Amino acid sequence: MSGVRRRAAAPSRAGFRLGDGEAIAGAAVPQGLIRAARKSGQLNLSGRELTEVPLHVWRINLDTPEEAKQNLSFGAADRWWEQTDLTKLILSSNKLKCLSDDVRLLPALTVLDVHDNQLTSLPSAIGSLENLQKLNVSHNKLKDLPEELIQLKHLRSLLLQHNELRHLPHEFGELNSLEELNISNNHLSSIPSSFAFLTNVLQLNLAHNQLKSLPAEISAMKNLRQLDCTKNCLETIPPELANMASLEQLYLRRNKLRYLPDFPSYTVLKELHVGENQIEVLKVEHLKHLNSLCVLDLRDNKLKSLPDEITLLQGLERLDLSNNDISSLPPMLGNLSHMKFLALEGNPLRTIRRDVLQKGTQEILKYLRSKIQDDNLISPNGELPVTAMTLPSQSEINLHAITALKTLDYSEKQKAVIPDEVLSSVGSNPVTTVNFSKNQLTEIPVRITELKESVSDVNLSFNKLSSISVELCMLYRLTHLDIRNNFLTSLPGEMETLAKLQIINLAFNRFKIFPDVLYRIPTLEAILLGNNQIGSLDPMQVKKLEKLNTLDLQNNDILHVPPELGNCINLRTLLLEGNPFRTPRAAILAKGTDAVLEYLRSRIPT
């Protein structure tokens, strides 16, 4: 009899007549959505104020549709018995306090998104979703995770940020298909040593927890590229992290570190963020194995000086020393030829004049270089003395910079044309840096192509250029190009031949559209387009730039930020302030890049 009763109950469930409570819950889910979900395999119920998931949602692949029971006519496209299983279920931004064990009735799910609810636990039945690849339970009130979660062997993305977790299952490492793991903003005080088995994880976010140490075993995470431990209680970092062969970005801001991480061997680390710690001194042994660094963030520490060995970091492009106790800088710092950004605000510097500091990075480096004592200087100021046999323009050429620093510097001359003798002065020297900034150039010197075998860094900022010549596109070793503060409205298609270009600064020009050619330069890591008149961009093309980590579009004319831009997960810095769009609002922008990208992803229509 019980079996008969169960069979008899099925039609009433399918017709949503199990009682007032379920009828009310079911009313929040239009039948049109259910019908569409049976065809597409995707169901989006986000933002519907649901307090529970209606039973007919869990049973969407089991029950006969009510239309079929009423003998309604079904077209070829509507034959319910041929409909697809539900693979994607979005329940985000509701008022759910729990999930039913009926979740097991959707074994085909590959994506389950329940972020921004009020969940305090997950059902043990979650472990039966053997096809699940992405699980987003962020922004809930979870206090622990069911052991059955470990059964999700195909899970690739697990988002647990902004919950109340105090510990993780010891067997967590059995989720060895994971590629993305975010456990930030919880109450964790330790990490299981089984993390060593998460060898496929590319991004691991442990920020805003209560970690006092990291297990040395995590060094076995051989594919990890980005590790974020911001705002924890770390006092030391295990030196074994140097064995992480793929680690490129390490975020350790707002901890209790007194020294840089001690890496006993060379690493591929490109970015090290240790701002807001208690670092008092930089030791040579902490610097010598960081020769791949491009970004070093040391702001808000207790540094009193920098060692000359800072020049071991030859690839350094950004150095933030803000708000320390530094009174002087080593002149050798000026020899870091790739440096693009040097922040010194909030230090009691006494050896550099205020007017020099106010002129920015390149002027500071130029000043420091002028202080270097070198027997090879042609004269005390590094320039040729003016004699009866010297052309006036030659007296403005720094030959020491050409021979010793591999730099051709002819900036701040207010010249409309670069004299031939300037380029001739290079001779056979392999110049890597060319600085023609702050002149009156309307064209790029044709002879710049003579430097194509060696030059990698060109600065043409603060001129009057209205177009880019083909000659510039022949500098095939170019990695850094600064052409801000000109009159450019477009870029030539030939620029896609710059196959090594990493950073391009196009700020303060007259672009009205995002230069299409930039989408075709896959090596780009930073695109700076602030203070133009750009109205839109193509997020699908931006996503293809897999190395892009900085995109500056401040103070343009963007009316709509495409939600798909949120899928550009490699972006570490996205600047959108000063545009006329209404969303994301300023409060979201103020939370930083990760929050903006997460917001945009939540707005992607399904």
- Does the pLDDT at position 307 exceed 50? yes
Where is pLDDT greater, at 244 or 134? 134
- Does the pLDDT at position 69 exceed 60? no
Where is pLDDT greater, at 82 or 238? 238
Q: pLDDT confidence of 286, banded at 50, 70, 90?
A: confident
- Does the pLDDT at position 26 exceed 50? no
DSSP 389: T
How confident is the model at residue 265, as a pLDDT? Answer: 66
To the nearest whole number, what is the mean pLDDT of the chain?
A: 86
Can you state the percent helix, strand and coil of the chain, rounding each to 5? 30, 10, 60
Q: pLDDT confidence of 35, banded at 50, 70, 90?
A: confident
Residue 15, number of CB atoms within 10 A of its CB: 17
Residue 488, SS3? coil
22-26, 110-114, 596-600: segment of lowest average pLDDT: 22-26
How confident is the model at residue 137, as a pLDDT? Answer: 97
Average pLDDT over residues 359-379: 71
Question: Quick one: what percent of the chain has pLDDT higher than 90?
Answer: 64
Where is pLDDT greater, at 186 or 352? 186
How confident is the model at residue 226, as a pLDDT? Answer: 94
Average pLDDT over residues 417-434: 91
- Does the pLDDT at position 109 exceed 90? yes
How confident is the model at residue 28, as a pLDDT? Answer: 66
- Does the pLDDT at position 385 exceed 60? no
Q: pLDDT confidence of 15, banded at 50, 70, 90?
A: very low
- Does the pLDDT at position 21 exceed 50? no
- Does the pLDDT at position 275 exceed 80? yes
- Does the pLDDT at position 481 exceed 70? yes
How confident is the model at residue 400, as a pLDDT? Answer: 75
Q: How does pLDDT run across 184-217, given as a tens digit for each residue?
A: 999 999 999 999 999 999 999 999 999 999 998 9
For the full predicted model, state whether its pTM sits above 0.75. Answer: no
- Does the pLDDT at position 306 exceed 50? yes
Q: How far apart are CA 107 and CA 126, in angstroms?
A: 10
- Does the pLDDT at position 6 exceed 50? no
How confident is the model at residue 268, as a pLDDT? Answer: 85
- Does the pLDDT at position 24 exceed 60? no
Q: How far apart are CA 390 and CA 394, in angstroms?
A: 6
Average pLDDT over residues 152-176: 95
Contacts of 217 (CB under 8 A, 6+ apart): 193, 194, 195, 196
Q: How does pLDDT run across 497-544, given as a tens digit for each residue?
A: 999 999 999 999 999 999 999 999 999 999 999 999 999 999 999 999
242-246, 257-261, 272-276: segment of lowest average pLDDT: 242-246
Delineate the domains of the chain, giving CATH numbers in brackets.
1-133 (3.80.10), 398-602 (3.80.10.10)
How confident is the model at residue 230, as a pLDDT? Answer: 96
Average pLDDT over residues 479-494: 94
Q: pLDDT confidence of 266, banded at 50, 70, 90?
A: low
Question: Degrees (nearest 5) of the Cα angle 500, 502, 505?
Answer: 130
Average pLDDT over residues 62-77: 58
Phi, psi of 489 (to 5 degrees): -120, -15
Q: How far apart are CA 370 and CA 301, in angstroms?
A: 28
Beta bridge partners of 574: 551
Select from 579, 573, 580 the least CA-distant residue to 595. 573
How confident is the model at residue 18, as a pLDDT? Answer: 37
C-beta separation of 206 from 228 below 8 A: yes
258-267, 269-278, 302-311, 538-547: segment of lowest average pLDDT: 258-267
Q: pLDDT confidence of 445, banded at 50, 70, 90?
A: very high
Q: How far apart are CA 89 and CA 310, in angstroms?
A: 52
